[in-house]
Chain A
Amino acid sequence: MISLDIWMRENPLTYVWFGSYAVALLIFAIEIAMVKHKRKITLQQVRLMRNAGDDARDEGIA
């Protein structure tokens, strides 16, 4: 990977930016997306359960 070395020395800031900060920000973005997604599906599940419970109650089962 000699060409990477040369490129790196000539473009240190780009290397720093894309290599570390962009990756870190990417990881943060993924984490936030994961948290939001988890909230979405948890709410869906809770609603589903609640509606099932309501339906059962309306039909006189629960």
Chain B
Amino acid sequence: MTWLWLELVAEVPSRAVATVPVSRVDDGSAAFLAFWSKDLDRPGRALRVDARLADGGSPATWVSWCRADAEQSYAFDDGAVGGALRQSLSRPWPEARSTLLVDWSRIAGAIAIAASVEGIADDPFARIFPRQLLRVDAGMLGFIDAPTGPGITRYGSGNPWPWDRYAGQVT
């Protein structure tokens, strides 16, 4: 399992391993999704995300960015989070989805990307966290396949769901 730090920022930051230009749907302002190596100390308010999102190649042009205000977060085991995970498995899976973690036990958001606005219109995590809709150029963000299901538990503390196996496990 590999994860990266991710944050929505106004300017291109230093030391990022990837920076993806986006625009906010509500006011058209420009921003960047910045990815940093997990080997760094937490850059600012960045959150842990499944690293496959940074691989690029998906046709997604819409981003559902659900992010807690300030330093708010929930326990990953909170019932509201479990409910959002179940709903995510119940409905059509977008091009990619990842929870966004503060550390090994806390969640402060989630990201989903899709090729059409319908794909991310009803994001279960938008009921937990404030949401911004973003636009991104196709090919800039990567696929994360739907997990087999019905599992909602993480494989190793600190790893963002939906990564679906213990590192190094026989496959």
Q: Do A and B come from one complex?
A: no
Q: Which B residues are within 8 Å of any A CB, using their own CB? A: none
Q: Which A residues are within 8 Å of any B CB, using their own CB? A: none
